[in-house]
Amino acid sequence: MVDIVSVEAIEQIKSIEKRIEFIQQFSNANYQNIKVIADLSIQSHDINLIKQTIELQNSHPNPLNKFGKKCFSQTDEDGLTLEIIKRLKIKGNGIFAEFGVGNGLENNTLILAALGWHGFWVGGEDLAIKIEPTKNFTYIKSWITLDNIIELAQSGLNHLGVDNVDVASLDLDGNDIHFVQKLLESGVTPKLFIVEYNGKFPPPVKFKITYDPNHRWVGDDYFGASLASFVELFAKHNYKLVCCNTHTGANAFFVHSDYAASFKDVPADIQNIYVAPRYHLHIKYGHRPSVRVVEEVFKAIG
């Protein structure tokens, strides 16, 4: 449990639960007490979601899911990444690439930068942080399409003076599977590839949206591709599905088959890896991310 929620958070949960029990003793609450009860009810709801998430994580048939932790990722992706790269035994400073990083304060590769890895980001948004390009990192601001994604990737690789990356993550809320296919076919073959899947479609359902260079997600279920469709694509390029994140059922982790021996404990059946969408479990807890922390991370890698 400590892996998911800090000791301080656990003590706070216990304290809130005691306060709720105390307030429930009053049958005739005045207006002020009603407001207090409402505030505590919201906190109690969040507590229940945290508990439910922990239970789901610990009961999942895939042992990798137990390693989930949040640091810079949206939910538990960081812990999964850390366990997977540990098994990959990447020596020295690894290389990362991420396509679609939002404003730079919450994504899947910040944790790798914090480890001292080098890498590059590509995205269409302005970053909330001020980072000047260095020999170890660069941000390429560009709207990504099938026509330019290889050029953008090559630009990032050239900047770092490398031929490939160890970890790649792609989350662009739409054309993802088309971009992944293009990257794999071009020779961008990381040891670990993290992608967002559309959890609405359980295996063996195959689904992917029609490619549209101008696609923008509007918050509905028309985005991305099903897990089964991603598995089919990655299998053609010698990749194995090893995990889906427990907390939201949104991110899938694929490792190159060269490293399959390090994941013998992962179930062979996709049904025992798939996680249905659990977007309702996504709550904000802990301190809000700050620009200064991320800037310090990148200052450290030079």
Clarify whether residues 11 and 148 are in a common domain.
Answer: no
> How many whole angstroms from its chain centre is CA 221?
19
Burial class of residue 61 (count of CB atoms within 10 Å of its CB; 0-12, 13-18, 19+) = exposed
Mean pLDDT of the chain: 88
Q: What is the pLDDT of residue 285?
A: 66
* Shared-domain flag, residues 43 and 71: no
Q: How many CB atoms lie within 10 A of CB 187?
A: 11
Average pLDDT over residues 190-219: 97
Tokens of 236: 């053609």
Measured N-to-C along each axis, helices 31-59 and 7-23 cross at an angle, to the nearest 10 degrees, of: 140
Q: Does one domain contain both 139 and 247?
A: yes
Q: What is the pLDDT of residue 14?
A: 56
Does residue 117 carry a pLDDT above 50?
yes
3-state secondary structure of 185: helix
pLDDT for the residue 50: 73
Q: Can you give the pLDDT at residue 56?
A: 80
164 and 274, same domain (yes or no):
yes
28 pLDDT above the threshold of 90:
no
Specify whether 46 is located in the same domain as 103: no
Report residue 44's pLDDT band, with 50, 70 and 90 as the boundaries: low
Q: What is the pLDDT of residue 10?
A: 56
Q: Is residue 104 left, alpha or beta, with left meaning phi > 0 and alpha meaning psi from -120 to 50?
A: left
Hey, what amino acid is at 267?
Answer: P
Whether 48 and 186 map to the same domain: the answer is no
Question: Residue 20: which domain range?
Answer: 7-56
pTM of the complete model: 0.84
CA-CA distance, 75 to 246, in Å (whole number)?
A: 9
126 and 191 belong to one structural domain: yes
Across residues 35-42, what is the average pLDDT? 50
